[in-house]
Amino acid sequence: MDEGMEATIGTKVIKLDETDSTNEYAKGIAPEVPEGTVVIAKRQTAGKGRKGRFWASPEGGLWMSVILKPQKVDPRLVFVGALAVADTLSDFGLAPGIKWPNDVWVAGKKIAGILTEGKAGEYTVLGIGLNVNNPIPPELRRDAISMMELIGTPLPLDRVLERLLFHLNAWYRIFKECPDIMMAKVRERTFILGRTVRIVEDDNVLIGRAVDVLDDGSLLLDIDGQLRRILYGDVSLRIP
Ligand code: ATP
Ligand code: BTN
């Protein structure tokens, strides 16, 4: 998308000092607001990841949710967020990789997470948490990192938001027009392909080599020579 193209995402931005979770706030207002409305909070008191897992959201990070009203719910919308975050990080000179299905990593650590929630036929909320200048809680420091830590200086949050909105608009447009092009970029940005991974789903654990991300968003796993398709759901992917 060139810079002059019409944007949907971010035309209306609701800025809050504090909320429980921008995803919860966004779900509350979704029926009444236009597509592309963004909710952003300086801090979240109950930021969450998938399956209600805790998401640390102190001041300094980018905690936001985008209200989308696609024609039908599509699990691949998570990749609109992951690619936009990855492109934003590249704009700041970092080298991001997507960890299928919903994380973005830099330098072997998690820098961002995406959480999509929605109501079929009505809306999808695309929640994005990006560690920018926020401190990382001590218990997460082994696995998580911020842009400030990587770059060595705090970044203007407005500028990061502006780049993120630009890339979200570009990828949402591509997703609507030709999702396979978007999936090709996901494949390029995914750093797990060719590696041995562990897929954890409730009590079930699968270990195999990540072979491909298919056009429908699923992961193709080679388990001792047998190919198995892993659907994007509530599975967690771990690198042993
Ligand atoms: P992962 O595979 O990245 O651990 P997951 O699938 O197990 O993710 P998610 O629901 O995707 O779990 O993400 C929530 C997890 O992210 C939390 O359990 C915590 O370990 C981690 N986390 C929480 N806050 C942050 C943060 N600000 N930055 C990076 N990681 C965080
Ligand atoms: C994950 O890695 O599981 C996803 C984390 C998503 C965090 C963001 S922060 C903004 C939005 N509000 C939330 O409560 N969660 C998402």
For the stretch 45-73, pLDDT in tens is 999 999 889 999 999 999 999 999 998 88
Residue 168 structure tokens? 């979200």
Q: What is the DSSP letter of 54?
A: B
Atom of ligand 1 nearest to the CA of 136: 27
Q: Please compute Rg for the chain using Cα positions.
A: 17
Lowest mean per-residue pLDDT among 2-16, 136-150, 154-168, 203-217: 2-16
Give how far Cα 87 sits from Cα of 52, 63, 93, 188, 226, Å. Answer: 27, 17, 10, 12, 34
Confidence of residue 4 (pLDDT cuts 50, 70, 90): very low
For the chain, the straight-line distance linking the first and the last C-alpha, in angstroms and rounded, comes to 38
The neighbouring-strand residues paired with 115 are: 127
Cβ of 115 closer than 6 Å to ligand 2, yes or no, is yes
Atom of ligand 2 nearest to the CA of 46: 14
pLDDT tens sequence across 87-116: 999 999 999 999 999 999 999 999 999 999
- Residue 180 main-chain phi, psi, to 5 deg: -65, -30
Atom of ligand 2 nearest to the CA of 110: 2
pLDDT at 3 > cutoff 80: no
Strands 236-238 and 196-201: antiparallel
**Residue among 23, 236, 237, 238 whose CB has most ligand 1 atoms within 8 A, to mutate:** 236
Residue 36 structure tokens? 């592309």
Where on the phi/psi map is residue 15: left (φ > 0), alpha (ψ -120 to 50), or beta?
beta
Cβ of 217 closer than 6 Å to ligand 2, yes or no, is no
- What mean pLDDT is reported for the chain? 95
Tell me how far apart the alpha carbons of residues 28 and 3 are, in angstroms, rounded to a whole number. 31
Nearest CA to ligand 2 atom 9: 129
Q: Which amino acid is at 215?
A: D
Residue 118 structure tokens? 């929605």
**What ligand is nearest to the CA atom of residue 127?**
2
